[in-house]
Structure 1
Amino acid sequence: MNVFRTLHRSFLILFAVVVIAIVTLVHFSISKIVAEQSRAQQQSLSPAIALIVEQLLKPLHTSEALGKSKELVELMDNENIDETEVFSTLARLNREFNLYFFIASEKSRTQYNSDGSQIELNPQQVNWYFKYRDTDANTIADIGKWEDTHFYIDIKIYNENNEFLGFFGIGKSLQSFLSVFDSYKQQYGYDFIFVDEAGDIMLSSEANLLADYSDFTNLSELPWFASLPEEVKNQRALNNRLITINQQDYLVAEVKLSQFKWTVFLLTPLDQRQADISRAFIFSVVTLLVVVFGLFLLIYNLLYYFRRDMQPEVIVRVANRLPDRNNLARHYEELLCEYQSLSVILVDIDNFSTINDTYGRNVGDEVLDSISSYLASNLREKDLLGRWSSEEFIILLPDTGPHEAFDIAQNLRHGFGSLPALKSQPHLQLTGSFGVSFTASPRPMNEVTAHAEDALYQARRDGCNLVRLQLIE
C-alpha cells in the first residue's frame, strides 16, 4: 500500500508539473508572439518616424527658428523692401540648409524666392497668400507651384507691434519626397499616405496619388478605404486595422502630425511580419514538443521504476490468490474432463525452513515471490499453478504425458539456477525438488497427488535439486 500511495502522490506531482509546464509554455509562446508583433511594429514605425522628422519636422523647426530671427523681421519690416538684401539672404539660406526658401512680403505684395525669382502677390495669381493670411493658424503646410510641385511650410511673421509682415517659409520638391519614400519602400516595404483634415492626400509614396494642378486625391476615393465600415470611414480610425490592396494584406499604423493637422497612415505589408511571427510560433511549438517529450520520458522512467519496485508486492498478491489445496479439486476435475489425461508436478523449495529460520520471514516471502513469479511465467496457457503447502507449489499439466511432464520439470529445475539474485540476500542460491505423476483415467486427485508426493520425497532423499517420477500401477 505504501508503494501505491507513493505512486498516487507521484502521479499528482507529475500532473501538476505537466500542467504548469504547458501553462508556462503557452504563456511564453503568447508572450513571444506578442513581443514579435511589437518588435515588428516598432521596426516599421521607427524608420517612418525618423523619415517624418527628417523630411517634415526638421524643415518646420528650421523655418520657425529662422522666422524669429531679428535679421529677417527687420528685413521684412522695412517700408521699402531691399530686394537685393532679400535675395542675398534667401540665397545664403539655400546654400546653408540646401532647402528652397521664400519671403512673401505684405508691404511690397511680392513673393521672393531663393532661386532669384519673384511673384506679384495678387488674388488672381497667388490665392494661397490671401487664403492663409486671414486664418488663425500661424503655421501652414500646403502644396503648390504646380509646374514643379512643391511642399511648402508657411510661417507668419510679425513685428514687435504684432503687425503682420507676411510669410517666411520653406519649399521642397515633391520629387525629392518621392525619391526618399521610394528608398524607404525598397528597404522596409511600406507605403506612406499624408492626409489633411479634409481627407485630401497631401503626400504619398505612390506618385499617382499626389495632387495634379490643385486637383487633390481624397482618401475616400481609394478602393480599400471605400470598402471600410461607415463608422471607420467617418472617424478615419485606421490604426492597427487590416486592409487588402491588390489581394495583399496590409496593416495600417496611424501617426498624428498636430503641427500640420495631418494624419500619416503607414501601410505595412504583412508577408514579412507573418514570416517573422511564424518563425517565433514554430520555435515556441518546437520548444513545447521538446518539453512534453522530456516529460513523457520522465513519466515513462518513473512508471518503469515504480513497476519494478511494485513487482514483489504484486507477485505476493498473485501467489496468495493462487488456488490452494482445498480449491484445486474442482480445477482438477474440469481439466481431466476436458483433456482426458493430466500430469501433476509438485515443487518444493529446498531448505525453505532453514532460509526462514536463518534470514527471517521477510526473506522467506521474497523467495516465495521469486519462485511463484518464475513458475507462472514459464507455464503454458492451459496449465494451472496452485499452492500445495506453505513451501510447495502444484502444477497441473492437462493433455501432457509423464515423460513430457518430466522434461518440463527438469527445465524448471534448471531455471531455478538462473533466477535473479534476491535484493536482501544476493548471495543466496535457490534450488527446488520436483515430483511428477500422471493419470489417463478419471482417478481422484488425491490418488494422483499421492504418487507425486512419493516422487517428491524420493527426490529429497536422493539429495534435493532433483526430479523424480512415480507412475500409478
Structure 2
Amino acid sequence: MPFWKKYINTKFYFILIVIVFSVALSAVLSLSKSVGNQSLLELKSLTPAFDIVTQEILKPLFTAETVARASSLKSSMNEDVINANEMIALLEQLSNEFEMDFFVASETSRVQYYSNGTTLPLNADKVEWYFRAKNSAQNIVAALGNREDIHIYFDIKIHNEQGEFLGFIGVSKRLNSFISSFEKIKSKYDYDFVFVDHNDDIVLSSDTSLLADGKRIKTLQQLPWFKALTPEQQTGQHPNDNVLVKVAGDDVLIAKAELKALNWKLFLVNSLHVRQSETTNIFIIQTLNIIFVLLLTLLLFRIAIPYIQAEFANKHQIDPLTQLPNRAHLAWRFKQFKKTKQSLCAIIVDIDHFKIVNDTHGHAVGDLILCEFAEVLKSQLRDVDVIGRWGGEEFVILLPSTDFQMAYEVAERSRHAISNHEFIVDDKVLNMTASFGVAFRSAAYKLEDIVTHADEALYIAKRAGRNTVCTTNDIEVKSPVGNSNLRLS
C-alpha cells in the first residue's frame, strides 16, 4: 500500500479517536453540572451506544468513502475493458489492509467483483439492488443482501472526471458480526438498538428476533412500542424525538436520531422499570446530541479528506516529473526492509554530463531524458526492487535480499543498457551514459548511511572517467585532497 495512503488512514483514525474522546468528555462534564452523579452514571452506561455507531456503522462507511476516492481504483473502473484479475487483486489488497470485505460493481462490465475472488453478473432479474441504487439520487446506499448469509452492504457511487457513472465500491459485513457487540451492551445496560432504513425496514437491532433471516425483513410498524405511539409521533419530523410510552404495563423511553449519511434512523428503546424516567430522558437526549455532533464532525472531516489526500500525495507520494517514488517513499520502504531484517544493497546512479544536455538542448529536453532514463533503469529491476528519484539527475535503487556480487551485476547490466540506449528527442538521437555507486549492508540501520556509502563509490566512478560501476570495495584509505589513492573496478 502506498506510503501516503497509510499515512492518511493513520491520521484519519487518530482524529476519529480524538473526536470521540473529546465529545464524550465534554458530555460527561456537561451532564455532571446539570443532573449530578446519577446522570453521570447514565452517561457511562450509554457511552457504548455511540461507540457501536462509530465502530460498526461509521467505520465501514467512511472507509468505503475514503477508498472510493483512490485514483488507482477510479482508473481501473474507468477502463474500457475491466481486467477482472487486477480488480480482484486490488480488492483483496484492500480487504487485507482494512480487515473488511470489499466489492466493486462495474457499470462497464456489468459484473460485481468481490475481495474473496468471486464474481457475480449484474443481471436485472437477480441483482435488483444495483439498478435500484444506480437510479437513486443518493451517492451512499446501505442495504441488506445475500439471503443465504445476510450481509449489510455500504455502497458508494463512483463517477469519473466527466461525471459518468462507473459503478459502486463498497464494503460488507455479516449481519451476525453485529450480534455479539449488541448482546454485551444489552445484557449490561438493558436497552435495545433499532436501526431502520428509509423504507422503515429494520436493518440492525440488538434484539435478534428482529433481524432479517433470509425469508423476511421486519418493519418498524410491526414493533409493539411503535404501535403505542400516536400518529403524530410516528411521523415526527424532528431529528431528535423522545417519547415515553407504555408497553405491556412498562414505561419505555423511545429516542430517535437521524443518520443522514445513510438515510437511516436510530431508535434507542429504554425500559424504565429500573430507572428514573426524568434522569434517563435527559441522558438519552444528551447522548443523541453527542451522536449528532459526532456525525456532523465526521461529515466535515469526510469532505476535507480529498483535499488532504491530494495535497499529501503531491508532496509525499511520487516525484511529479519521473513518476518514480521520491525520498519519502524510499525511506518508508527502507523501514519495511529493516523490520524484516533483510540484507540490503543500495545503488546510486548519476547521469553523466547531464548539465551539458540542459545547457545545449534546454531543460525541456533534459526533463524528457530524465523520464526515459528512469524507464530504462526500471526495466532492469525485479518487482521487489525499489527505485526512486533522489534529486536532480540522481536515482537510488534499493535491492532487498541481494548480495554484493548480484548488486554489482545489476548495476553493470543497467549501465550497459543506458549506454546502448538511443534517447530520441525531437528527431535527435542522444547517447547517454551513467555512473553507478554500489553499497552493501547486512543490517542497515539508516537509509542515509547506506546511500552515503554508495555515494562515495559513485564519486570514485566519476573520478575514474564516468560510465562505470564502482563499489564500496573500490574505496581505500584516501591520502590528502588531490592525491587520493584509489583502486578502480
- When normalised by structure 2's length, the TM-score is 0.47
- When normalised by structure 1's length, the TM-score is 0.49
Max radius of gyration: which structure?
1
